[in-house]
Amino acid sequence: METLDWGAKTCKEKMFAAIKLPPGADERKGRSFVYFDSTQYGWKRSLQPVDSKKSAIGATISQIYEVDKV
């Protein structure tokens, strides 16, 4: 797996795309999303909510918020 490094920011994959699902899509009330990256052949629903640091988006976004706190 290749890792990109933009200063202190890193990503597991070169490219990924995600779509946040609407509030009525499931029980997560607007915190669910599907994603696609170079390791798979189709969209996959994340097991983690969008605001979890265990999700692809949450891990990426949390790096930005942590830098803002410094």
8 A C-beta contact, residue 50 and residue 58: yes
pLDDT tens column, 47-70: 999 888 888 788 888 878 776 666
pLDDT tens column, 4-49: 444 455 555 567 888 999 998 888 888 999 998 888 889 999 999 9
Is pTM beyond 0.75? Reply is no
Write down the domain spans for the chain: 4-69
8 A C-beta contact, residue 13 and residue 59: no
CA gap 68, 46 in Å, rounded: 26
